[in-house]
Amino acid sequence: MEETWTILKVLQWTTQYFRGKGLEQPRADAEVLLAHALGLRRVDLYLRFDQPLHPDELARYRELIKRRTSHEPTQYITGRQEFWSLELEVNPAVLIPRPETERLVELALEAFEEESLRVLDVGTGSGAIAIALATERPGWAVTACDISLSALKTARRNARRHGVADRIAFVASDLTAAFRPSPPPFHLICANPPYVGDAQWDGLAPEVTHQEPETALRGGGPQGTHVPRKLLRNAFPLLLPGGMLLMEFGQGQEEVLAREARQLPEAAKVEVVRDYAHIPRILCVTRRHRGARFSSPLPHPDSTEG
């Protein structure tokens, strides 16, 4: 008699199989992939533990298991990742948004209560930061830039999905190269630049080094600070007086980046903020006030087409 595979039995078997393959979250991966294969929410699995699976459902699930054990990230398999309670499309053209980056969004919202603000999100990737800010602050005019056209197209699709595409300008740019510093156009600049150092690269999980876009990860140099330092120098002149730069960085980089930030002309305040795990994570640099803020319209470069 052919064995009956229920949802519970399949999850138990897959969890053990993933654990044997050395995956870090075997049960969570098993549940997410099975829910995806069945077109269910993850919580629905717990209400249907005794439900038997049809052969075609088992076949679909087996294919997902193969992909996961080849170290393809679960988020790329399902095509989804949650950030700031927003479900975003993710694919190999963009980094998978991490929970610690939500701290940057928090800081931006805490720093400015103005209804009207001009914001730049550098290296937007999936659009996570830009879309979160546009969702929370309907009056803010957000520009999101990235060097990757594929990433920009993904970000635009995510913005459309969440109804904020009309308030985000998507611009192709290598860091801030597409923007003119005179007169300064932005009140707030947010960035999660590449910051993984050469010394750390080989120690990362294969899900990261073999699957996610390397150009969005590696910051250059042994400690990975080349790109963050370049961004500091080039982005800061784009800030209005009283404006703020928020930049995520990697472990061990806070001293060199804070020192560089303090050397910037017009830098009034430099702070290092810790993430939810109490790890130094966000560099906050405020530009010195000089009279009234510039208030003429922001000259956007030509945006990419989706």
Q: Show binding-site residues for S-adenosyl-L-methionine.
A: 123-127, 146, 192
Ramachandran sector of residue 202 (left: φ over 0; alpha: ψ -120 to 50; beta: rest) = alpha
Ramachandran sector of residue 92 (left: φ over 0; alpha: ψ -120 to 50; beta: rest) = alpha
Tokens representing 302 are 């030509």
Nearest residue to 88 via CA among 132, 30, 120, 39: 132
- Coil, strand, or helix at residue 190? strand
Ramachandran sector of residue 53 (left: φ over 0; alpha: ψ -120 to 50; beta: rest) = beta
Nearest residue to 73 via CA among 97, 57, 56, 50: 97
| Bridge partners, 283 (sequence order) | 247, 272
Q: How many other β-carbons are positioned within 10 Å of the β-carbon of residue 2? A: 5
Q: Show binding-site residues.
A: 123-127, 146, 192-195
H-only helix segments in 21-127? 26-38, 42-47, 55-69, 74-78, 102-111
Q: How many other β-carbons are positioned within 10 Å of the β-carbon of residue 115? A: 9
Q: Show binding-site residues for substrate.
A: 192-195
Phi and psi, residue 221, nearest 5° = 85, 165
